[in-house]
Amino acid sequence: MLTFLALASVVLLGIVPEQSQAIVIYTGWERHALLGSDIRLSCSFFSWRWTSEDVTFSWTYRPDGSRDSISIFHYTGGVAYVDNKGPFRDRLEFVGNPGRRDGSILLKNLEFSDNGTFTCDAKNPPDIVGRPSSVRLLVFEKVPIQAGVITGAIIGVVLGLLVLIVVIYYLMRFLVARRVFSLSVSKHGKKKKEGSQQRQLWTPPPLTCYPLP
């Protein structure tokens, strides 16, 4: 009876379809680029499953000031498809590696009109439940210096000055200690030399002999 129940359990477990789990998708938050340059928009995902042969990546684009998104790229079945009618039909290249869960794309010859939000979605069957991730692209004639860069530079300078002060402090202590030790050794040697000279210069008084009466 127990053997029958065990076999029935194995059969039932084999019949029940594999449940899907959540997939987590990652992109950057905001990217800055120069007018006319190229930029890579990264997209990757985390899944508890092995990377499936049926993995898919999809990119959509929503221009600034617009509520509607358009599909610009899709990868499925090992083949990359670029939208042949959108604004990136001649300026988009797939540079990802699906086997390594990388669905990155490269945008070429950027224009001011490319400013907008790019959204990546990925599926790794049976893990197909996940929230797409978005990155905003800002194209400038000159890339502005971000506040974080300035803050990081200030912190770096302050830390460098502190390290320099500490090094100078310990160097001065070392030099002073060395000087004191040299003076002490010199003074001790001088006293020892003077004592030796005094012993060498002292001679006993001569003996005077008187004739016996």
Q: What is the CATH number of the domain that holds 91?
A: 2.60.40.10
131 shares its domain with 164:
no
**Integer Cα distance of 190 and 121 in angstroms:** 86
170 shares its domain with 100:
no
pLDDT of 105 > 90? The answer is yes
153 shares its domain with 132:
no
32-42 burial code (b ≥16 CB/10 A, e <16): ebeeeeebebb
CB neighbour class for 75 (10 Å; exposed up to 12, middle 13-18, buried from 19): buried
Quick one: pLDDT at residue 20?
58
pLDDT digits 0-9 by tens, 168-193: 888 888 888 877 777 776 766 665 55
In the chain, the amino acid numbered 205 is P
3-state secondary structure 154-189: HHHHHHHHHHHHHHHHHHHHHHHHHHHHHHHHHHHH
In a domain, 168, yes or no: yes
Percent of the chain with pLDDT strictly greater than 70: 72
**What is the residue range of 152's domain?**
145-176
In a domain, 26, yes or no: yes
In a domain, 188, yes or no: no
Least confident of 20-29, 109-118, 132-141: 20-29
**Integer Cα distance of 111 and 211 in angstroms:** 130
Q: What is the CA radius of gyration of the chain?
A: 41
Quick one: pLDDT at residue 62?
97
The alpha carbon of residue 184 and the mean position of all alpha carbons in its chain are separated, in whole angstroms, by: 53
162-186 burial code (b ≥16 CB/10 A, e <16): eeeeeeeeeeeeeeeeeeeeeeeee
